[in-house]
Amino acid sequence: MRAGDTDAYAVLVRRHAPMAMRTAVLLGAGGDAEDVVQEALVKAYRSLDRFRTDRPFRPWLLRIVANETRNAHRGVVRRSAREERATTSLPPELIDPAAEVADREEKERLLAAVQRLPEAMGRVVVCRCLLDLDEASTAVVLGVPRGTVKSRLSRGLKRLREELGSTREEVDHA
């Protein structure tokens, strides 16, 4: 692949593009997700000489996707825009198939709650819980230490439990 074999790179793209797309969408790229992933794949190809072959490819690629996602909406995303996106649901093909068992309303409420978290905390929750990345991969993708991943995940899950717990109680009393 490093020698310029585009067919070898195409195999990697086919293998990792669906996860890259989910990552871009869940990290906030919205309607720009395809463009973000395309740009990330091009940047990854151009940066292959910097890829360390002793490390896994997927976290390296997803970090590029995360950076491109952040670049795509840096300075544009405000709290009101995040709340507006929270009310829209993801297309079914971008939701993890294992999550289809859960009720659609519950998924939308969970996604909305995750999107209301502070951005740094929400990114960790997305990577660990929605993309099912391990701690080390999440640290690589987001470019933060593993300890930061642990603390942000803990605080994020606590906030989600509090928010969704109170919401459930309100629904039960209604």
pLDDT 10s digits, 27-76 = 888 888 899 999 999 999 888 888 888 888 899 999 999 999 888 866 44
Please, what is the average pLDDT of the chain? 79
Question: Does the residue 28 lie in any domain?
Answer: yes
Task: Provide the domain limits for residue 132.
Answer: 6-173
Determine the pLDDT at residue 145: 95
Domain-embedded: residue 76: yes
Q: Is the pTM value of this prediction over 0.75?
A: no
Distance CA 54, CA 57 (A): 9
Q: Is the pLDDT of residue 85 over 60?
A: no
For the chain, the domain total comes to 1
The answer as to whether 1 is a domain residue is no
Burial letters 66-100, b for 16+ CB under 10 A, else e: bbbbbebbeeeeeeeebeeebeeebeeeebeeeee
pLDDT tens per residue, range 105-127: 777 888 888 889 998 999 999 99
* SS3 state of residue 78: coil
Environment class of residue 127 by beta-carbon count within 10 Å: exposed (0-12), middle (13-18) or buried (19+)?
A: buried
Q: What is the reported pLDDT for 74?
A: 63
Residue 151 covered by a domain: yes
- Note the pLDDT of residue 15: 92
The distance from CA 10 to its chain's CA centroid, rounded to whole angstroms, is: 22
